[in-house]
Amino acid sequence: MLKLCGFAVSNYYNKVKIALLEKGVPFEEELVYTSQKDDMLKRSPMGKVPFIDTPAGTLCESQAICDYLEDAYPQMPLYPSDPFERAKVRELCTVLDLHIELPARTLYAEAFFGGSVTDQTKEQAKKDLAKGVRALQGLAKWGPFIAGGKLTYADCSAYVNLPLVSMVTKKMYGEDLLAPLPQVREYLAMMKVRPHVQKVDADRKLNQQQMAERVKK
């Protein structure tokens, strides 16, 4: 059976987990934390999570995993069938992952882990986030899903990434850099009540407690 490897606090792990649950793909979970050790790098060459373990081998990078899921399990499609609409969903996924979450990620060390980041990093992240948010403003449909009338992989990414960006930017800049997107609040509320999303959120909270206990020890 397909195995999803990683930990439930990870936003990218949850992006894939929402997709698996919404598509109804049977899977097991293996708790794996990030590492640069050889045994990890054999399974996930960047040492990152998530990765999946399939009978054919392992696969990392959340978007590559989503594309594999769509090909291997065509039931409950999370991409539109029209090639252009399909590409528009991928475009949204890229903007969310690469141009919104990734700049916010440069701030996580200070926002979440008690470290500090330089003023230059803060300024750069703010500039990059403004561009990403402007792109999302132009692309998002909120109809009610982010790419239109149906749930897609872009929702799997938006649901896990947008709350993090709000949280981090409020903490680092004293303002929510997603404020130009007032639709986000209603959108997240709509996603949050989906039973599979509730399961992902409950597992995330449990893993958060486990990680806090691990740090104490």
User: Do 8 and 210 contact (CB within 8 A), yes or no?
Assistant: no
Task: Work out how close the CB of 7 gets to ligand GSH at its nearest, in angstroms, rounded to a whole number.
Answer: 8
Nearer to ligand GSH, 63 or 169 (CB): 63
Q: How many residues bind ligand GSH (CB under 6 A)?
A: 12
User: Do 208 and 9 contact (CB within 8 A), yes or no?
Assistant: yes
Among 5, 11, 154, 207, binds ligand GSH (CB under 6 A): 11
Give strand ranges (E) for the chain. Answer: 3-6, 28-31, 51-54, 57-60
Is residue 12 at the binding interface for ligand GSH, with CB under 6 A as the rule? yes
CA atoms within 13 A on the CB side of 150: 13
Is residue 208 at the binding interface for ligand GSH, with CB under 6 A as the rule? no
Residues 77-116 vs ligand GSH: string with x where CB under 6 A?
Answer: --------------------x-------------------
Q: Which residue is nearest to ligand GSH (CB)?
A: 48
Site for ligand GSH in 30-59 (CB under 6 A): 34, 47-50
Instruction: Tell me which amino acid residue 11 is.
Output: N
C-alpha separations of 196 from 20, 22, 152, 171, 207 in Å = 9, 7, 14, 29, 17
Residues forming contacts to ligand GSH in the complex (CB under 6 A) are: 10-12, 34, 47-50, 61-63, 97
